[in-house]
Amino acid sequence: MPATPSLPADTAIYYAVRHFTDEDGLPQNSIKGIVPDKNGFLWLPTENGLTRFDGSYFFNFSTDNLPGLKSSRMGRTYPSDTAIAVENDIGEILTVTQSRVKHIGRTMPGYEYQRYKASNKDYYPIRGWPDDYGAHFAKICPVVMPQTSETYFSVYRDTISHINKGKTDYRIVQPQLDLLRLFVCDSRLFYLNKDGHIIGWHKDQPMKITLTGDLLSDTAFSKCKMELYWNLAARQVFVYTDRACYLLQPQAHGRMHSVMVAKDFDMHQAYITAVYYDQANRRVFLGSSTKGLYIYTRQQFTVRKSDASEEEVFYAQAPFSGNAVITATGLSFGKNGKYNWLPLSYGEDTLEKYALARDQQGRYWGRKGFSLVGVSPDFSKVVRKIELPYLIGTVYAGPNGNIWVGGQFPGLYYLNTTSPDDTLQFLPAKVEDVTYIKEGQLPGLLWVGTSKGLYRVHLPSGRTDTIRGLEQGNIRSIYVPRQKEVWITTYNKGVFLYRNDRLVALPLDGQRYMITTHCITEDYEGYFWLTTNKGLFRVRRQDMLDYADGKQRDVFYYYFGKDQGFNTNEFNGGCQPCAFKYENGDISLPSLDGLVQFTPSAVRMEMPDQKIFVDWMEHNLKQTAADDHFELPNGFKTFRLHISSPYFGDQRNLYFYYSLDKDGWQEEEIWLPVNSDRTITLSSLPSGDYSIRVRKLKGFGKDQYIEKVIRIRVQEAFYEKGWFRLAALFALICLVILIYKIRVRHIQEQNKLLELKVHNRTEKLEETMAILQESDEQLRKQGLMHKHLLTAITHDIKTPLRFLLRVNNNDPSSDRLKEEEIKTVTYESLYRMHYLVDNLIHYMRTTYQTGEFSEEVIDLPWLVEEKMAIFKPVSDSKRIQLMNHVPPGTTVVANKLLLTVILHNLLDNAVKYTVHGSVTVTVEKSGDLLTIHVSDTGSGMPQAVVDWMNQPENDGTGHSISTGIGLILIRELLPAIHGRLTARPGKERGTILSLQLRRYDW
């Protein structure tokens, strides 16, 4: 089948257009001028303020944020050598320096003659072209065109006067002068004739200007359809023809060069009044009086397509004769853009799109299902067809002449096209689902990518090594530029570098578009071109190597989107080869809509290398002017700041990061991405000094950062101030002292309580000890007393009993006694034993009785008389006279029973030791005491007994056996009646026993 005739190439220049209106942030759609400042911002006067544009964000200066400004309606933009000057409708001048409105007043920073004053009818200073009022005023007064801050051209009708400091230097006469074709460029005066010729003047001498450049090829210009656009503030002049705009550039030797800046754009229909051209980036800005801002950027990439819309999805490519490129489907494209449909483009022999390899003989190899297909160098016929046992995945032509084939099942096949015996060979490599094959720079190595990882195959054995870290990676392409340097792209895992047996994952771009990277192509300038589903990236190879070696923290990726000339941002992968590079270094990339071709060295990259600026700050929703230092109150809720940096390229090349550092922190820096609206928000920071560091990458290379530092200070809370700390310290010291004193007092109180408890317990113990001692003493005394009682009982009872036994036992000695005497003695003995037993019974009762003994008033004479009556028989038998000399009415207070026992024993003791005598009871009153005296005329008491009786503190151990039981009982009973007993010898003989008691008088 003959080849289809080639079709003409598309050599047109295309532009990407962006349109901004009030819906995109413009304060108002009427733009009165466009002028750049030294930092790269564009300034746009509008009917609602002076707007600064950074490429994506409009920052408006108006009455809303400029104190002192009375009107936001902007008008003229004046030329200035040091600043930008804009006048509003009431004559206020806004002066822009350092990319901010710094001054509002009534004076101009130079070019004062340019100010328009309604009261001044002498001349009219034009705004540039177009000027709606210029033609009108030209009829009635001179029109002023600025040259320098001190000189200008005054035009009136056919005469042009040069004015220097108010004086005319020279005049130029130009017959039939059309004011709208006159302009000043590079301080020189020019005139564009209606026939397209340009006249220039050197002072008052005319010079013919030779026009060069793009304007000459414009058919509309040749037909004299043209008009001028003059941007006075930017000092640029443009010629607009039929839907095309050209920049005029004065050159040496009388030349004027023209450069096309826009085409296919109707400036009249868009009401364009202001034009500015960024020559470095081939971008033109067009301001409309009603429709906002247009930005035209020249596209750098060319897309090759055919006339068959269904064939615009491209994959594998290979070189073709005539410095052309051919696709697997048989469509070739020349360098000039012409394309041909080759014979195998039709019919059953058409190859699949995904694999195309060219061997050393110029033959092409592709796939068709299970078949490996060889095609002639002119792509006119199939020269060989080999069936394989599996579905073919990829076909690769190695540098040594081998055609490698991988597919669905394990193992590789290869065909040596340089050998006479070019039969298909099998290599038992443990690889399957093969997606890409690439021979390494070291002989004997084959790198194989699959849908489940990367493998290294050793030739000719087929031994296979698995590359750790990519076990689940779907390999899209492999690039091996040098020994031990293997670059791998994957589906959904990004880009990797395998070097020196170490796998490194390369960082992704800010939008993570590179998570699926199809292909890596290296140009002759050391840059990689990476295709993705979201656009094209360019990166410096050395940057990626430095990152892999840990020498570089960040990698700058330059992004190209469809605005640069692509029909779509989605490039194609999953094919081999994934890209094609011409011998001269040009690159062709397959996409979903055409082949994208370009010359890498001719591609301009607009680097984001301008400074970072802070537009405004906001504290607790209250906006304030931006500054490099800001002070916040303690406890603030929110703090926001907005940053900007002039950049008119693709905004995806602008990456802002920020970190917050506090003075004195030693922590590692944490860099966070700035929000898409370019605001940084902070809230509730502790007091202290902070640095907000904002940075961006400005281009390729190590540490290519531009950084802006904003210092903020959060005021101390009142409790953090020095005086409060001193007061708090003082209060703390006082509190400590108070607590200490309270504690000491508490401890003292506790000690006192403890001492009191100890004292009480000691007292109780002492009381207990005293009681115990007393009890012990009483027990001891009782023991002694009982011992004495026992002795006395033995003496007072046992002796009489023995005597009675002897008397009544017919003892011979008893015969001497008379019967009457025996009766008397027997009676007396029994009598004494009876009362002795009675006294013992009373004593025992008192011994076991507890508590106080009851007391009563006792009639003492009666009691004495009663007791004497008891002793009457005994006293009579012993011829003892008992005498009661107690006066009648004498009473005492005591326990009657105990007093009875005591008196009984006192009388008994007196009767006992008296014979043929008397026993007398008398009383003696002294104060409240009553002393009862019992005196006898008997033999008297032994002195030892008297001494024992007269010692109250005597413990009872001093008496002898001669002390009878009666006296012992008396001594025991005296404390119970609060009495005291003393003994003394009688006046002549006998003993006087005195008992002291309390008296009681009625």
**With the CA atoms of 909, 912, 916 and 922 taken in that order, what torsion angle do they form, in degrees rounded to the nearest 10?**
10
Give the least confident one: 86-100, 113-127, 375-389.
113-127
Mean pLDDT computed over every residue of the chain:
87
Three-state DSSP class for residue 858: strand
Residue 550: CB partners within 8 Å, gap ≥ 6? none
515 secondary structure, DSSP code: G
**Domains (ranges, CATH) in the chain?**
303-602 (2.130.10.10), 613-695 (2.60.40), 818-998 (3.30.565.10)
Highest mean pLDDT among 16-25, 624-633, 733-742, 835-844: 16-25
Q: What is the pLDDT, as a whole number, of residue 118?
A: 61
Residue 756: CB partners within 8 Å, gap ≥ 6? none
Q: How confident is residue 902, by pLDDT bands cut at 50, 70 and 90?
A: confident
Q: Using one digit for the tens of pLDDT, what is the confidence trace for 565-608? A: 999 999 999 999 999 999 999 999 999 999 999 999 999 999 99
Q: Using one digit for the tens of pLDDT, what is the confidence trace for 48-80? A: 999 999 999 999 999 999 999 999 999 889 888
Sheet hosting strand 485-491, strand order edge to edge: 474-482, 485-491, 495-499, 502-505
Q: Using one digit for the tens of pLDDT, what is the confidence trace for 208-256? A: 899 999 999 998 888 888 899 999 999 999 999 989 999 999 999 899 9
pLDDT at 29 over 90: yes
Task: Give the CA distances from residue 593 to residues 4, 299, 493, 566, 873, in Å, rounded to whole numbers and listed in that order.
Answer: 22, 16, 25, 8, 165
Q: Using one digit for the tens of pLDDT, what is the confidence trace for 388-444? A: 999 999 999 999 889 999 999 999 999 998 888 778 999 999 999 999 999 988 888
pLDDT at 958 over 80: no
Beta strands in 64-121 (DSSP E): 74-78, 84-88, 93-97, 100-105
Q: How confident is residue 94, by pLDDT bands cut at 50, 70 and 90?
A: very high
Query: What is the Cα–Cα distance from 99 to 52, expressed in whole angstroms?
Result: 8
Q: Compute the Cα dihedral for 904, 907, 911, 913 and give only its sign.
A: positive
pTM listed for this prediction = 0.74
Provide the 10 A C-beta neighbour count for residue 945: 20
Q: What is the pLDDT, as a whole number, of residue 352?
A: 92
Q: Using one digit for the tens of pLDDT, what is the confidence trace for 642-656? A: 999 999 999 999 989
pLDDT at 665 over 60: yes
DSSP 926-959: ETTEEEEEEEE-SS---HHHHHHHT-TT--S-S-
pLDDT at 351 over 50: yes
